[in-house]
Structures are given as C-alpha cells and as structure tokens.
Structure 1
Amino acid sequence: MGHIVNQEREYRLLQQRLDQNITGAPYSPVFIRILQLLFSPAEAAIARKIPLRPVAIAALARKTGLEPEDLRQKLLIMAEKGLVFDFEYKGQCHVVLAPVVIGFFEFVYMRSRDNLDLRELAELFEEYMFRDDRFARDVFRETTQLGRTLVREEALGDYSEVLDWEKASQVITTAETVGISLCACRHKAGHLDKACAAPLRTCLTFGNSARILINKGMAEAATVGEAMQVLEQCKQAGLAQIADNVQHAVGFMCNCCGCCCGMFQAVRTFNIRTAIVTSNWAAQIDSSRCTGCGLCVKACPVEAITVDSASGAERPRAVCEPELCLGCGVCYTACKLGCISMASRDRRVMVPETTFDRMVTMAIERGKLSNFLFDDPSRLSHRALGRIAAVIEKSAPVKALMAVKPIRSAFLTAIAAGANIKR
C-alpha cells in the first residue's frame, strides 16, 4: 500500500514541477492520469528533479544518485517518448524537461506510434485542456504568447514595410534544417473521430528544433522546396500560418484550422483573445462590393467576421471585428469578389527577438521569473534568490515599470547578462 502511495506522490510532485513552467500545468486528477500513462514511476521521479533550464547529465546524476550512464539510458528512453529534450553542448549531453505545450503533448501526436494508447490520451488531453478553462488560462494569460500570426504575403501586394520574419516564405527558405511532422492537434482530433478534412502532414520545424525532432523520429527531414509545397497546400486548404513568436531563429510554423487547433480553441471556446499574437495587419472589407456570401465567415479561424443583415441595410455584408482579427489573411484568399484587403494596424505588434527574450518576458508577465532563473531547489543560494525575485516581480511598482518599453528592455538585458553567467 505504501508503494502505491509513493508512486502517486511522485506524479503529484511531477505535476507541481511542470506547473512551475512558464506556461503552467494546473492540478487535475485527469492530468495525473496523463502523467501515469506517459511516465513510469521511476521516470516521474527523475523528471521532477530536472531543472527547467538545460542541465548536464553528469550534474543531474549527482542530484538523482544514479550512475551517469544508467541515467543517460533512462533519459534516452524518455527523450524518444518526447518527455524530455536531450542534446549535445560543448561535448556534454544536456537534458531539459519538456513542458506540456509546446512540449510533450505535441511530441506524442507528431507521429504515429503503437506503444501508447493514443485514443485514451486524446480523451484525457481533451478533457484537461477544454472541459474547463484552467489550463488554457494558465498557458495563454497575459500578452506575450508562444505563437504569432503570419500574414499571407500575397494579400499585402507590394508592401515595403513587411519584414523578413513576418514572411512565411522567408522563414522557410532561410532555415538551415527543415522538418515536417503530423499536426498534433488534428492527429489528436482524429483519435476522437472529429478531425476535419485538412491535411495532416503540415507541422514545420526549423533549425535546432528540426534537428532534435528528426533525430528522435518525430519529424521527417525535408528540403526547402518540400516545405514550400506544404505551405502552398495549406494555404489552398484554408489553414492559417502560426509561427514561433520570435524574430530570429524561428523554431516552428503550424498550419492551423479553427476547429482542431488548441490555440484557436482557446480563442473560440474561452474567449481568450490574446492567445495568439496578431500580425501587423487586419482584414478590411469593402462593403460597397461585398454581397454577404459568407465565405469569409466560414474561413475565419477565430470567428472575427460576421454577416450583417440588419433591417435597413441595402444588402447583407460581411463585417470584421478588428480587435479579434488575427491578420492571417485566410479571408482574403476565401473572398471570390476581391472585397477584402489587409490594412496595416495603427500600432505595431511587439515580437521578442529571441527565444530567451520571449521566455523571460513571459516569465515576468506571469510572475514566474524566479522559477525561470532560479529553478534548482537543491541549492540554497537559488532558493534565497528565488524568494527575493518572487517578491520583487509581484510588486505593483515593478509591474508598472515593465509596461514602460525602455525600462523593460533594459531590465531584460540585465537579466540576460546575469543568466548567462556560468554557475
């Protein structure tokens, strides 16, 4: 009986560890069941001791009490399942615990596999993520998000102000390595018998992310030409392009439908309007030409367009809510009369330059900066500094200061410098 209690304790501690991630993992009996299906009790015991930032396996071995080679073999199995990331850095193998998203949820469903009950997991993930809003609000609270919208370049004409990182084609053609995987969201929906007819092999990864996934069999190596074909196929299928919310070294590009995508569901189901960062454009509809056919309404993945058929109007016409519009341009392609154009927003969207900038910004906004910087509970200095940082970041004056862009930028620079010091 004590053995069973100890096993349950390991999963509860692992849940608490995952909840320290920037995107969180709130407790639920359903989530504990997901962890039990994915992690063995021994794996859970190891996983909860892995820092949120990369750690050398040699250092982790000292922390767990396992021999380095024994630990490495166990971590390799976990990495194959998509539960941890492992990679070589300066001749040493490092590992980091995968969050729920973008993390082990995607890695479970980015390929077909027969060593897991994917239908049971799909039912559990669906219940955990969408039967109530706790998980979605943990992941998508505040304004800096994991994903940002890419506008369709063909909808902009000859816009000189569009930047390279805003172009899907540029993200693909400049990538050193490209990987193609199954769309995790549609694959999961397929196991629930409610996937749409959109293509399934549509998830694109780039650079280091692609290399790791290809190495673990979660993505197929692809050429730039093949990736561009996938992009064109997805545009024809009415899918929106959502990319890694960074300017440099973009790690992924999803091709998303409004019905299956978890990010879009957060917008549609729970009205979390900031779940996806918009592009710098919004749809503009020429009401003098619109006939109210409704094709753009069906195409919009976040239901930002409606048909106004109020009495007194000369004829029904489509109306776009600019605050909800993602600026993806899917409606532009759907409109057969050329009534829709993409207009530049009055205020440009702030996109972090690098993944580190994004993570620190998200940590500040979510009150988790101490978890991100000082996440090794075995060291007294980290515990002490973590408590201090937690007090500082939750204070009202600091929150107000972070809203001032120059101060925020200087703060991030200082944090980056401090975090890069070798311990």
Structure 2
Amino acid sequence: MTDLYRRLQQHLDKQPIGFPSTESGVELDLLKYFFTEAEAEVVLCLGLTHSRLWRIRRRFVRAHGRDIDEGALGEILERLWSKGSIRRSTRSPYGYSVAFLAIGMFEFHVDDLTPELMRLMHEYFDAGFKDEFFKGMLPQLRTSPHLKAIVPEHRIDTYDNMRHYVEHTDQKIGVANCVCKQGEALLGRPCTQVDDIEVCVFFGESDYVERGRGRYITRQECLDLLDTAEKKGLVLQPGNSLQAFCICLCCGCCCGVLTAARKFDKPAGLFATNYFATIDATACNGCGVCVKRCQMDALALDRERRTVWLDPDRCIGCGLCVTTCRPGAAKLQKKEHVTVPPRNLEMLYLAILAKKAGKARMLLNLLKLAAGARL
C-alpha cells in the first residue's frame, strides 16, 4: 500500500505545483486522507490536462495490468470530483485531471474540513510544502493594492485594479467560505478580523457552486466585499493572470499563504506585486494604526520617536497601511519594473512548469500533452 501512495506522490510532484516528499512521510498521510487505494490507482492515470473516460481507462490498463469497468471508473471519478480531490471539465462529456494540493484539493474541501486535515496541512507546510509553494518567481496569486491607496499620478494597470476587473468582467462572479479561516476555526483559532468568512471570490463557471460549496453573487455584492476587505484589513490576492480566476481576501491570522510567507526572512520577494509602501518619518505621528493593519509584520512602532519603521523586505504592497493613515505619512509607490501576469490560468501553470522543468524538459512535456499522454 505504501508503494502505491509513494508512486502517487511522485506523480503529483511532477505537476507545476508539486507534492514533495518529506523525512516524516506526512505527505503519504495526506494522500491516504484524500484517496482510498482504489481511488489512488485511478488518480495515477490522470494528468495535468483533462482526459476523457476512455483515455483514463486505457492508461489504467497500462499502469496496473488489468482492466476496469467503465461504469465503475466513472463512479470513482465523479466521487473524487464531488469530494474536491480532482478537477473536472465544465461540460459533458466530462474530462478529468489532477488537482494540486494548493491551490486545489485543500481549497476544494471547504465546508468539508476536519481537524485531522488541518493538522496534516500544517505539518506538511512546515515540513516542506511551503518551499514548493513559494518556489520560483511566478506565484499562483499576486498582491493587488487597495484602490484607495493609489495616488492619482500613479496610473494603475487594469490587472492590478480589482474594482475595474469586477466592474467589467463578462464572467459569472461567485463567493465561497474562506477555507483558511474555516480551518483555523476548527482548531480553536477563529479569525480575529472578520466574523463572516464568506469572502473568497471566484469567476466563471464554478465547481464550488456545482458541489454546493459556493454561490453566485451580483457585481455590486462583489464590490461591497472589496470595500469590506479594505475596512477589515484584508489583503487582496487575485489569481496571477490577466483573466483572474479568483480574488482571495486574506488575513494574517489565518491565511496559509501569508502565515507561511512570514516565516521567511525576506517574504516580499515571494510575492508578485508591483507596489511597495514608504513611510515619511517627519509626517508620521506614531499612532500605530498601520502597524496593526499590516499583515506581514513589515511595520514596527518606535514609541520614543513617535514614528513607524518599515522593513521593505517584508512589504508586499497591499496598501492597507496607506488607506487609514490620517497624516498621510504612508504612501504606496509603484515599482520601476512592473510584472505583467500570464494571459490566463492555463498559461500561468505552463509558465510555472517551464520554470520548474527547464526548457528542454518543458518541450518534452508539451509534446506529451499534445499526444494525450499524462504528465
């Protein structure tokens, strides 16, 4: 049995967001949580891109040396999708593919979390997954500034202006409970910044809605959520693509991304962000409001000098310190060299895979995908 789950771990580790092994073997415990042995055998036959039932069945025969009834295979795949352990195409006849651990299986288990899963996730993040999650310079999420923090002379690009994106998108807009806030509450650590945890925004036809774990909302309801995020001190983290697939509204007490990043010495370098904050010490009155609102521990209050000091290596340019600074000491500056996100979700993950695998390996991977082989 252990050999089966090790093979599955190695298979998932080849994906853009991998599933690295650890000394403790906690990754195998996680896989056993998500998949029965029969389900693990099926997931071994899934790849990065969606595959139809007949192709998965053919891979199953090659991988395991025996056939599987098509009806039974379909039932396993639908059960896995319903649980949130794999991905499925939006239209029938359905295709199926692997889900990453994050963003993926963990988030898809919202409203179906257990303390056991949360303990395993925390252990795995500390044992090695956080290094995989933050590997490279192309993260899955980017940090977009709150619009109130942008001065008029700074033209904000549309991909960094979440209000503009919401106002002009032709996609459906939905919302689900925040899996991080929900999970921490299960461990006795409820969010200290918001009581209503239905704050994770998604765009387009959504598995969350089909699974009964999310709902569609109006454009205005989404804009109201962005306003609430600014008031409550939540960081805006949309999907890192021109066609945003989500907007996470993140707090420093629960968010797995922010809490894991804070453990690094220079977390600012782990985020895709085009802005950074500055503090004018001569204008600062030392009220300390910005220190409380910073989710990355980038600000420190100097009570003797009645001013605030900023660590640029920890600032991710969210703008939360700026929007409530009455004396105007905190300012948000645009970086000299800005990063433009990939066009869509598919291009994002192909770009991450290219950086992970290298050019030669990536060319081979593209040929495999074109031929319908699993990755």
Query: TM-score w.r.t. structure 2 length?
Result: 0.89
Tell me what 1:154 maps to: 148
Alignment of 1:177-256 (within 5 A): 177-199=172-194, 200-208=197-205, 211-247=206-242, 249-256=243-250
Give yes or no for contact 1:142–1:274 (8 Å, CA) kept in 2: no
Give how far 1:375 is off.
5.8
Alignment of 1:20-419 (within 5 A): 20-28=14-22, 29-64=25-60, 65-88=67-90, 92-108=93-109, 110-111=110-111, 113=112, 118-130=114-126, 132=127, 134-159=128-153, 161-173=155-167, 174-199=169-194, 200-208=197-205, 211-247=206-242, 249-271=243-265, 272-278=267-273, 280-308=274-302, 315-367=305-357, 382=368
**Where do 5+ consecutive residues of structure 1 fail to align?**
1-6, 383-418
Tell me what 1:391 maps to: none
1:289-315 CA-partner distances (Å, limit 9, x unpaired): 2122222122111122223467xxxx2
Give how far 1:421 is off.
7.9
Letter matched to residue 317 of structure 1: T
Letter matched to residue 88 of structure 2: D
Give yes or no for contact 1:178–1:222 (8 Å, CA) kept in 2: yes
Give yes or no for contact 2:50–2:89 (8 Å, CA) kept in 1: no
Instruction: Measure the CA separation in 2 of the matches of 1:269 and 1:182.
Output: 25
Give yes or no for contact 1:263–1:275 (8 Å, CA) kept in 2: no
Letter matched to residue 193 of structure 2: A
User: Percent same amino acid among aligned pairs?
Assistant: 25
Letter matched to residue 233 of structure 1: T
Letter matched to residue 51 of structure 2: V
Instruction: Measure the CA separation in 1 of the matches of 2:10 and 2:80.
Output: 19
Give yes or no for contact 1:30–1:124 (8 Å, CA) kept in 2: yes
Tell me what 2:64 maps to: none
SS at match of 2:102: helix
- Higher RCO structure (Cα 8 Å, ≥6 apart): 2
Give yes or no for contact 2:178–2:200 (8 Å, CA) kept in 1: yes
**Where do 5+ consecutive residues of structure 2 fail to align?**
61-66
Instruction: Measure the CA separation in 2 of the matches of 1:421 and 1:30.
Output: 34
Shift of the 12–357 alpha-carbon distance from structure 1 to 2, 3 Å rule, reads same
Give how far 1:78 is off.
0.4
Give yes or no for contact 2:269–2:313 (8 Å, CA) kept in 1: no
Letter matched to residue 304 of structure 1: A
Shift of the 332–175 alpha-carbon distance from structure 1 to 2, 3 Å rule, reads farther
1:379-409 CA-partner distances (Å, limit 9, x unpaired): xx84xxxxxxxxxxxxxxxxxxxxxxxxxxx
Give how far 1:371 is off.
7.2
SS at match of 2:315: coil
Give how far 1:191 is off.
1.3
Letter matched to residue 42 of structure 2: I
Give yes or no for contact 1:207–1:251 (8 Å, CA) kept in 2: yes
Instruction: Measure the CA separation in 1 of the matches of 2:80 and 2:170.
Output: 28
SS at match of 1:27: coil
Give how far 1:145 is off.
0.7
SS at match of 1:146: coil
Shift of the 11–62 alpha-carbon distance from structure 1 to 2, 3 Å rule, reads same
Tell me what 1:397 maps to: none
Shift of the 372–192 alpha-carbon distance from structure 1 to 2, 3 Å rule, reads farther
Moved more, 136-145 or 338-347: 338-347
Give yes or no for contact 2:192–2:253 (8 Å, CA) kept in 1: no
Instruction: Measure the CA separation in 1 of the matches of 2:325 and 2:258.
Output: 21
Instruction: Measure the CA separation in 2 of the matches of 1:139 and 1:34.
Output: 16
Instruction: Measure the CA separation in 2 of the matches of 1:13 and 1:67.
Output: 23
Letter matched to residue 359 of structure 1: Y
1:86-144 CA-partner distances (Å, limit 9, x unpaired): 1245x531111101010101111x22x3xx6x0111111111113x4x21111111211
Letter matched to residue 216 of structure 2: A
Give yes or no for contact 2:285–2:307 (8 Å, CA) kept in 1: yes
Q: How many corresponding residue pairs?
A: 361
Instruction: Measure the CA separation in 1 of the matches of 2:320 and 2:262.
Output: 17
Give yes or no for contact 2:176–2:215 (8 Å, CA) kept in 1: yes
Instruction: Measure the CA separation in 2 of the matches of 1:180 and 1:250.
Output: 14
Instruction: Measure the CA separation in 2 of the matches of 1:283 and 1:93.
Output: 46
